[in-house]
Amino acid sequence: MSLSPAQRHSARIAAQTKLKQRQALEGADSLHVLSAALANDVDMLHGLTLAQKVALKRDELLPKWMPTVEKYLDGGEVYRNPILAWCVIWLFDVGDMDAALSLADIAIEQGQETPVELKSNFPTFVADTVLKWAEVQARDGHPIEPYFSRTFTDVAEKWELYEVIQAKWFKFAGMYQLFDEHGAPRATATADVELLQGVDALLARAEKLHSQCGVGTMRKQIAARVRYLEKQSGAKK
């Protein structure tokens, strides 16, 4: 039986009170106010600076909505859940990589759709987001593990992605092993022939996936470096 306007108003007020108290919404609470409340919160982000957006997501939106996501997960029923989708995105935005990847795994397993604003699916969104994060981390001299390898396994073996995206991952996975102290890849950064050959295998995979991925020069430099090191090794024997 449908609710009267007065009943819908009461349900909306009750649900909004629960959300403000960081309580989970479920059942009849969510049916009438969930979409509107979520849309209002998404709209709140418009016009803010990046720092303001991160603070709002971290301090207000995630604490407000994650109890509802957790309630949904505990219930065991699977259905399209835009709250879960937005929380995945917000967790990445605030830099909580562990929680973001764990929830993203669930979203992908359940076949959840991303918000229309993303114009992407979850495997593509996660692959792009984690790679951009890893590039910034590496550039600034910060560690990228365990999150890079965790996602790389999915990119390489599990998710259906465009070849150009996979190529970017294989390229970075190789180049990163040759980063010097300034965060630039150099074949001369190591004297380990086995490592150089492993890097070249990754770059070859990238090139096979996307011929224009930009690894040709580095592969030539690696080949020259390996020849030099093998010649030096032979001269010492």
HEC readout, 87-135: HHHHHHHCCCHHHHHHHHHHHHHHCCCCCHHHCCCHHHHHHHHHHHHHH
Q: How far apart are CA 206 and CA 213, in angstroms?
A: 7
- For 96-113, what is each residue's pLDDT tens digit? 999 999 999 999 999 999
With cut-offs at 50, 70 and 90, classify the pLDDT of residue 9.
low
**Residue 236, domain extent:** 143-237
d(CA 197, CA 221): 12
3 against 147, higher pLDDT: 147
Any domain includes 87? no
The answer to the question of residue 53 being in a domain is no
For the chain, the domain total comes to 1
Residue 50 lies in a domain: no
Counting DSSP H helices and E strands in the chain, the numbers are: 11, 0
- 22-31, 113-122, 175-184, 219-228: least confident range: 22-31
More confident residue, 218 or 32: 218
Q: What pLDDT was estimated at residue 1?
A: 42
In a domain, residue 183? The reply is: yes
The percent of residues in the chain predicted with pLDDT above 70, rounded, is 85
pLDDT in tens, 171-217: 999 999 999 988 899 999 999 999 999 999 999 999 999 999 999 99
Q: Is residue 123 part of a domain?
A: no
Report the predicted TM-score, pTM, of the whole model to 2 decimal places. Answer: 0.85
pLDDT of res. 145: 97
Residue 40 in domain = no
Residue 217: inside a domain: yes
Structural domain includes residue 113: no
For residues 161 and 123, the answer to whether their CB atoms sit within 8 Å is yes
Give the pLDDT confidence score for residue 28 in this predicted structure.
42
Contacts 24+ apart (CB under 8 A), 98-101: 98/147, 101/126, 101/130, 101/147, 101/150, 101/151
Q: How confident is the model at residue 237 (pLDDT cuts 50, 70, 90)?
A: low
| Inter-residue contact 225 to 188 (CB < 8 Å) | yes
